[in-house]
Amino acid sequence: MCGIVGILGTQPVAGNLVDALKRLEYRGYDSAGVSTVENGVLGRCRARGKLRNLQSRLEEMPLKGHAGIGHTRWATHGAPTETNAHPHMTDKVAVVHNGIIENFKSLRERLEKAGAHFETETDTEVIVHLISQALEAGAAPETAVQSALKELEGAFAIAIIFGGHDDLMIGARRGSPLAIGYGDREMYLGSDAIALAPFTDRVCYLEDGDCVTLTRTSVAIKDENGHPVDRKISQSQASAMLVDKGNHRHFMAKEIHEQPEVISHTLAHYVDLSRNRVEIPDFNIDFATLPRITISACGTAYYAGLVAKYWFERYARLPVEIDVASEMRYREAPMQPGGLALFISQSGETADTLATLRYCREQKQHIASVVNVRESTIARESDAILPTLAGPEIGVASTKAFTCQLTVLACLAIRAGCERGHISSDQEMELVGQLLEIPRHISRILHDEKLFEKIAHDLAHSRDVLYLGRGSSYPIALEGALKLKEISYIHAEGYAAGELKHGPIALIDEDVPVVVVAPRDELFDKTVSNMEEVAARGGQILLITDDGEAADSFSTASNFILPKAHSFTNPLLFAVPVQLLAYHTAVFMGTDVDQPRNLAKSVTVE
């Protein structure tokens, strides 16, 4: 989604604003802009496309102000043009916004009737005119902003500077994240701590409804009722170093290769390595008496939840309901009070997931969240936080966060099984031991990465690709299809292999590759039958399995033999080949692997 940054500095800020926006590029964008105020006069510079275009513009037309705001825009309302790029402004106020103003059409009509002249197609511009009209009516800046916020419906994080005020910046949030950065005689605003890391590690995340008025030496936060509040200042974990690609061509490649390391870090957080026991820090849910778990998430995080459903039901005999958050938030599902609602989110800011969390809170559920950003909104609204220690994930396509989510969920399922009397002490040690093997197994798969490059070239010429899996491999088939489609733009579908005969087999011919995710487990023979049905119709099969003999016994176009692991841990292992297939296909096709078209890293609007 959009990225926001603001600086009340002690020197010209335009360059620092752009540097901070670079740290938000991972969120996805299609235009960018900055605005500064110098001797009370507002200036602005914007450009379509990447930040380098904005930098070129600034070289031609430098902005000298020591206070300013910046924005990377991911177009929601209005085409990705320079005119629609933020900041939006009048001579009185400049605004940058992340979110969606749902009632902007009615507001725009009313404002135009009152004489406002709109320049853009965006929803954001109504904020500019609401504030400007209040200022013209004599309101002080903070009052003007408060009156504007009362009119807005929808989600926003905004940063505002004012004509005539060189030492004033106001920020507000409702549904989209916004953080204050505390500097030395400087103050900052940003969408997240990563943007602020070059300036400060003292960060305070605003709560929904908060509005903050900043000068270089003062911070005044008010809650949605206008009451002064204090919010906790924390030490940000975000590194001051620009997250870089190391010796990899893309962030996605780097993050795929980081998986052995970050899975190890995550395991160390949840496993007593001296006893091979699972220990979940700061988690007081009594699984023994828990009636059910409700899991909700979006995209790849949802597929991690689907895998966890198999684990909780098989190893803990615990009923699980799971749904994508965009459906769950509106379903009005009846929920027995006292259940556990578990949310999975890399960013911790996904609007649909957050909205579902709030619904489950109203339904008196215990709230736990598996998140990669501890300071995120979803984390802060949870009773229990289960962090993934994946480190910043920059590639829009989630990889290391996914396998770290699986790692956390596997530990949780073991804990649940132990507390509910379905996993003995010996079994716990064995399953934990299997988890501890995963980093080594993944390293071996990565060592054979070249195998995936060749196959990717074949996939790259496909129009449609089918992914099949059974049991806990079915969510991995879904994930593989998502990875391929979101970075290579090839249409791909994941299906439960047993569903093939109920329709999808009509798709099969020699032009539709079928990727089969099939460890040699109790369902393998059933899946072989499906593969035979595909082969009989000329379908090309790419088999991902852990049994070389099985693979040889079946004439496949290609197969990848993975290290033999335990059926419990196979989903973590089989996630890696489908990531590599998608990555190398996209590289071959020349798409923007780290920032695929139309996508954003964190979907903070619904």
Closer of 116 and 370 to ligand AGP (Cβ): 370
Among 133, 527, 602, 604, binds ligand AGP (CB under 6 A): 602
Distance in Å, CB of 58 to ligand AGP, minimum: 31
Report helix, strand or coil for 582.
Answer: helix
Distance in Å, CB of 298 to ligand AGP, minimum: 4
Among 236, 353, 488, 527, binds ligand AGP (CB under 6 A): 353
Out of 2, 45, 298, 360, the active site residue is 2
307 touches 344 (CB < 8 A): no
Long-range pairs for 379-383: beta carbons < 8 A, 24 or more residues apart? 379/348, 380/205, 380/207, 381/354, 381/357, 382/343, 382/357
573 touches 316 (CB < 8 A): no
Closer of 236 and 372 to ligand AGP (Cβ): 372
**294, β-bridge pairs:** 321, 341
The alpha carbon of 430 is separated from its chain's Cα centroid by a whole number of angstroms, namely: 33
Query: Does residue 347 bind ligand AGP (CB under 6 A)?
Result: yes
601 is catalytic: yes
Which one of 36-44, 395-403, 412-420, 526-534 is the stretch in contact with ligand AGP (CB under 6 A)?
395-403
Q: Which two tokens stand for residue 574?
A: 């089989």
Q: Please give the Cα distance from 396 to 375 (Å, whole number).
A: 20
Q: Please give the Cα distance from 5 to 466 (Å, whole number).
A: 42
Q: Please give the Cα distance from 31 to 20 (Å, whole number).
A: 15
Distance in Å, CB of 350 to ligand AGP, minimum: 3
**546, β-bridge pairs:** none
Report helix, strand or coil for 200.
Answer: coil
Query: Does residue 294 bind ligand AGP (CB under 6 A)?
Result: no
Query: Does residue 368 bind ligand AGP (CB under 6 A)?
Result: no
Query: Does residue 295 bind ligand AGP (CB under 6 A)?
Result: no
Q: Which of 290, 284, 198, 227 is nearest to 7 (CA)?
A: 198
Query: Does residue 561 bind ligand AGP (CB under 6 A)?
Result: no
Closer of 84 and 595 to ligand AGP (Cβ): 595
118: Cβ contacts below 8 Å, ≥ 6 apart: 108, 111, 112, 125, 129
Among 306, 451, 523, 603, binds ligand AGP (CB under 6 A): 603
Closer of 148 and 355 to ligand AGP (Cβ): 355
The residue type of 60 is E
Closer of 75 and 429 to ligand AGP (Cβ): 75
Closer of 345 and 382 to ligand AGP (Cβ): 345
Closer of 398 and 473 to ligand AGP (Cβ): 398
Query: Does residue 298 bind ligand AGP (CB under 6 A)?
Result: yes
Phi and psi torsions of 97, nearest 5°? -145, 135
DSSP letters for 217-238: TEEEEE-TTS-EE----EE--S
Report helix, strand or coil for 486.
Answer: helix
Closer of 5 and 297 to ligand AGP (Cβ): 297
Query: Does residue 515 bind ligand AGP (CB under 6 A)?
Result: no
Among 90, 133, 213, 350, binds ligand AGP (CB under 6 A): 350
Place of tokens 């490059």: 453
32 touches 46 (CB < 8 A): yes
Among 301, 442, 478, 578, binds ligand AGP (CB under 6 A): 301
Peptide bond into 87 cis (omega under 30): yes
Query: Does residue 370 bind ligand AGP (CB under 6 A)?
Result: no
Place of tokens 């198999």: 310
Region of 433 (left: φ > 0; alpha: ψ -120 to 50; beta: rest) is alpha
Which 482-501 residues touch ligand AGP, going by CB under 6 A?
Answer: 486
449: Cβ contacts below 8 Å, ≥ 6 apart: 580
Out of 22, 309, 400, 601, the active site residue is 601
Q: Where would I find the beta strands (DSSP E) of 392-497? A: 464-469, 491-496
Q: Please give the Cα distance from 482 to 487 (Å, whole number).
A: 9
Among 14, 158, 397, 565, binds ligand AGP (CB under 6 A): 397
Which one of 118-126, 233-241, 392-400, 490-498 is the stretch in contact with ligand AGP (CB under 6 A)?
392-400
Query: Does residue 259 bind ligand AGP (CB under 6 A)?
Result: no
Among 16, 133, 345, 569, binds ligand AGP (CB under 6 A): 345
The alpha carbon of 309 is separated from its chain's Cα centroid by a whole number of angstroms, namely: 21
Closer of 162 and 251 to ligand AGP (Cβ): 251
2 is catalytic: yes
Closer of 18 and 304 to ligand AGP (Cβ): 304
Q: Please give the Cα distance from 437 to 566 (Å, whole number).
A: 10
Query: Does residue 396 bind ligand AGP (CB under 6 A)?
Result: yes
Among 213, 356, 398, 527, binds ligand AGP (CB under 6 A): 398
The alpha carbon of 247 is separated from its chain's Cα centroid by a whole number of angstroms, namely: 24
Distance in Å, CB of 398 to ligand AGP, minimum: 4
Distance in Å, CB of 400 to ligand AGP, minimum: 11
Q: Please give the Cα distance from 14 to 206 (Å, whole number).
A: 24
Which one of 22-30, 355-363, 394-402, 417-425 is the stretch in contact with ligand AGP (CB under 6 A)?
394-402
Query: Does residue 462 bind ligand AGP (CB under 6 A)?
Result: no
- The site for ligand AGP (CB under 6 A) is made up of 298-301, 345-347, 350, 353, 396-398, 486, 602-603
- Catalytic residues, by residue number, are 2, 601
